[in-house]
Amino acid sequence: MKTSNFPYKYIAIEGNIGAGKTTLSNMMAQEFKAKLILEQFTDNPFLPYFYENPERYAFPVELFFMTERHKQLQENLSQQSLFQQFTISDYFFVKTLLFAQNNLNPEEYRLFQRLFHILNATFPKPELLVYLHRSVDNLLDNIRHRGREFEQKISAEYLTQIQGAYFNYFKNVTDIPVLILYIEGSEFWDKPTEYQKIVETIQQQYLPKVYHINLSKS
């Protein structure tokens, strides 16, 4: 196992549903002895009901996600721990707002947004945000192959909406570097050369702006 060889102490790896963010986070944390923060999405009791009836269950599912993510990040992202150990997370707290904006009605979202901004001020941002981008068709293939029953009803339309929410957010990011890695068709978990290419890209030092880097499988 290697020690950390990154110009950052805290990296968040993001992506749409089925992009491979948790898999990549696990692989990198193991290789570089990093502290790993994984979202416990399966603990959300409202999630299966949300995919069956989004309008009814959107607010409780998003509120549960927000409070659980906040609790987890508060416990893991003290300033002292960030200086002591390289940390990788498979989500960025801002995803809470992006999904809520897509899933809630305007009245619910206004209330949710107020709560989010209060909670978001209580812990540090990642020094690098990595977004794994795949086409909706590629995402749907990955979702089918991993076989989580409650995800099988996720529609292409929903994934397209989430993708749009992320890219709209990236337009306004100026305070941290954002890497949008295009990895269409990549099965980096089974292909060491593809995985290594992703890691080498993340290891570079970047200025605070958005970068679009194509690492798609040719």
pLDDT in tens, 35-74: 999 998 777 899 888 888 989 999 999 999 999 999 999 8
What is the structure's pLDDT at 4? 62
Q: Would you say 26 and 63 are in contact if contact means Cβ atoms under 8 Å apart?
A: no
What is the structure's pLDDT at 48? 85
Q: Would you say 66 and 82 are in contact if contact means Cβ atoms under 8 Å apart?
A: no
Helices of type H across the chain: 21-32, 47-52, 54-76, 79-84, 95-103, 106-120, 136-146, 156-170, 192-202
Domain annotation covers residue 5:
no
What is the structure's pLDDT at 6? 84
Domain annotation covers residue 3:
no
**Six token digits for residue 118:** 């209060």
Q: What is the 3-state secondary structure (H, E, C) of 119-133?
A: HHCCCCCCCEEEEEE
Domain count within the chain = 1
Domain annotation covers residue 80:
yes
| Cβ count within 10 A of residue 74 | 12
What is the structure's pLDDT at 79? 58
Domain annotation covers residue 1:
no
What is the structure's pLDDT at 209? 96
Computed from CA positions of residues 50, 173, 78, 111, in that sequence, does the dihedral angle turn out positive or negative? Answer: negative
Domain carrying residue 170: 10-214
What is the structure's pLDDT at 82? 55
CATH no. for residue 164? 3.40.50.300
- Residue whose pair of structure tokens reads 């950052």 in the numeric block: 8
pTM (2 decimals)? Answer: 0.91
What is the structure's pLDDT at 109? 96
**Six token digits for residue 111:** 């209330």
Chunked in runs of 10, what are the mean pLDDT values of the chain (218 residues)? 74 96 96 91 84 91 94 80 78 95 94 95 92 97 86 90 96 96 96 96 96 88
Domain annotation covers residue 4:
no
